[in-house]
């Protein structure tokens, strides 16, 4: 790499870091990290890059092992702890703990003092938090990284083609559960399901809520039909945000839907107002709420192949839509072509391959929605974000609006 390029990158980083770290916005910080990555890649020789990849693989293994042994949460909040005491606390052999801790220290995940005791860093505290990076890392590692680490073997057995059926996806194949669906499998394992829900909450915090770039308030009309149905909405975080941003929308005119185990948790959490309907619903079945103004599917379609998305929409969602209903899909919108700045959506697109799912380009959305009988009517996203909302309506929708939801239906809600 030319010395002038190194100097230019170094100058850029210096200018970006003039402010104190606490005053740097997340967008600026991510920009700086991308510049650092570019500098490292430009400086590295091929052998250097291979060595860094080796270290990264072993760092991932170290983190997952320490999480499983509860090491991060066993580090004292204040002060330090010896490897002997830490091994006793987690019930593991000291020689095992010591080897993993050395890698964690070398990776700057944990700090080691001159007296050979260990203390937290900001990273280990993040992995120790009850609703933090630890549970998200665990789920992403187990449900995505592990299957994809065997992708070459899956391809050798199944053929060199994109996974397109969840029942035979790399994740179900590695789990020995081919023939099942991932979310049905989660329903049978309360601990795994709870961890998955926590992970979704953590990952959801990484992106702006849809209300930051889509005007949900404009969906409100004078009828008494549901304004917004959040399909697969988890604990209701998105609806809580929408109701907060749009106080003119009555809480009883938004609906939260998810699988029974998730709904049970949502009801216990009481995040939503008491009069907000919360319904058991599997989007593999016909949508029971007819004629709502909007149906939201946030981080849903990316779990499925194009073929299955068309089937879900055409068979189960579109029949419930009124002529003026809108379908809102909130997912990554993958740029095409891509650049190193697009690592977020591109890495997520590969991660979803574990379940035979995919993140989509705008062209992909037009094609999939078109095959289902819908037409894209708007794309809403901040200029500097990859996450957005794709709005679609029935291709042959009438201009005169939709009927209000029936009194019978509202009674069921």
Q: What is the pLDDT of residues 128-148, one digit of tens each?
A: 987 788 999 999 999 999 999
| Sign of the four-CA dihedral 350, 355, 356, 358 | negative
CA neighbor of 395 nearest in space, from 368, 412, 377, 413: 377
Query: DSSP for 138-161?
Result: HHHIIIIIHHHHTHHHHHHHH-SS
Dist. CA 132–CA 107, nearest whole Å: 19
Among 34-48, 231-245, 365-379, which is the least confidently predicted range? 34-48
- Residues whose CB is less than 8 angstroms from the CB of residue 261 and which lie 6 or more positions away in sequence, other chains included: 186, 187, 190, 193
| pLDDT band at residue 13 under the 50/70/90 scheme | low
Q: Please list the residues that pair with 254 across neighbouring strands.
A: 228
Do residues 377 and 391 lie in contact, with contact meaning Cβ atoms separated by under 8 Å? yes
Active-site residue 302, yes or no?
yes
Given a cut of 60, is residue 22 above it in pLDDT? no
Catalytic residue among 120, 302, 366, 386: 302
- pLDDT above 70: percentage of residues in the chain: 88
Q: What is the dihedral of CA 393, 397, 400, 404, to 10 degrees?
A: -60
> Looking at residue 17, what is its pLDDT?
61
Residues 313-338 pLDDT 10s: 999 999 999 999 999 999 999 999 99
Which one-letter DSSP state was computed for residue 96?
Answer: H
Q: What is the pLDDT of residue 366?
A: 97
Closest C-alpha to 131, from 236, 65, 237, 202? 202
Tell me which fold the domain 207-412 belongs to.
Rossmann fold (3.40.50)
pLDDT of residue 341: 85
Q: Where in the chain is the domain with CATH 3.40.50.150?
A: 207-412
Confidence of residue 12 (pLDDT cuts 50, 70, 90): low
Structure pTM?
Answer: 0.84
What's the pLDDT score for residue 3?
59
Least confident interval from 10-19, 305-314, 390-399: 10-19
DSSP result, 213-232: TS-GGGG--SSSS-SEEEET
Q: Where in the chain is the domain with CATH 1.10.10.10?
A: 3-128
44 class by beta-carbon count within 10 Å (0-12 exposed, 13-18 middle, 19+ buried): middle
d(CA 338, CA 349): 12
ω into residue 245 within 30 of 0, thus cis? no
Identify the weakest region by mean pLDDT among 23-32, 92-101, 294-303: 23-32
The CATH class that applies to domain 3-128 reads: mainly alpha
- Using CA atoms, how far apart are residues 289 and 280, in angstroms rounded to an integer? 12
- More reliable by pLDDT, 30 or 360: 360
Kindly tell me if the per-residue pLDDT of 78 is higher than 60. yes
- How many other CB atoms are found less than 10 A from the CB of residue 344? 17
Q: What is the pLDDT of residue 18?
A: 61
pLDDT in tens, 202-234: 876 666 789 999 999 999 998 999 999 999 999
């Amino acid at each position: 790499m030319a010395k002038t390029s190194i100097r230019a990158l170094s100058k850029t980083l210096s200018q970006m870091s003039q402010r104190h770290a606490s005053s740097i916005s997340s967008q600026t910080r991510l920009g700086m990290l991308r510049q650092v990555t570019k500098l490292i890649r430009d400086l590295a020789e091929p052998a250097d890059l291979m060595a860094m990849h080796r270290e990264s693989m072993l760092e991932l293994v170290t983190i997952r092992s320490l999480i499983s042994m509860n090491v991060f949460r066993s580090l004292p909040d204040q002060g330090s702890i010896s490897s002997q005491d830490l091994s006793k606390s987690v019930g593991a052999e000291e020689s095992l703990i010591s080897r993993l801790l050395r890698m964690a220290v070398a990776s700057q995940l944990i700090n080691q003092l001159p007296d050979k005791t260990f203390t937290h860093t900001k990273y280990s505290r993040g992995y120790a938090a009850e609703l933090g990076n630890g549970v998200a890392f665990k789920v992403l590692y187990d449900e995505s990284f592990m299957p994809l680490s065997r992708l070459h073997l899956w391809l050798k057995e199944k053929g060199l083609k994109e996974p397109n059926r969840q029942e035979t996806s790399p994740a179900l194949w590695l789990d020995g559960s081919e023939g099942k669906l991932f979310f049905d499998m989660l329903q049978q394992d309360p601990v795994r399901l709870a961890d998955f829900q926590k992970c979704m909450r953590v990952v959801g915090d990484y992106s702006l809520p849809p209300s930051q770039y889509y005007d949900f308030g404009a969906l409100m009309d004078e009828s008494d039909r549901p304004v917004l149905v959040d399909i697969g909405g988890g604990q209701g975080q998105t609806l809580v945000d929408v109701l907060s941003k749009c106080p003119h929308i009555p809480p009883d005119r938004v609906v939260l839907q998810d699988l029974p185990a998730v709904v049970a948790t949502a009801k216990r959490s009481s995040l939503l107002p008491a009069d907000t309907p919360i319904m058991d619903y599997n989007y593999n079945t016909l949508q029971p709420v007819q004629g709502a103004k909007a149906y939201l599917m946030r981080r849903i379609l990316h779990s499925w192949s194009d073929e299955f998305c068309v089937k879900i929409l055409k068979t189960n969602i579109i029949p419930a839509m009124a002529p003026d209903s809108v379908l809102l899909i909130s997912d990554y919108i993958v740029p095409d072509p891509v650049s190193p700045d697009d690592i977020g959506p591109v890495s997520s697109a590969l991660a979803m391959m574990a379940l035979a799912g995919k993140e989509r380009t705008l062209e992909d959305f037009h094609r999939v929605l078109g095959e289902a009988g819908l037409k894209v009517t708007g794309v809403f996203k901040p200029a500097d974000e990859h996450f957005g909302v794709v709005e679609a309506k029935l291709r042959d929708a009438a201009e005169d609006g939709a009927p209000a939801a029936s009194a019978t239906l509202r009674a069921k809600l």
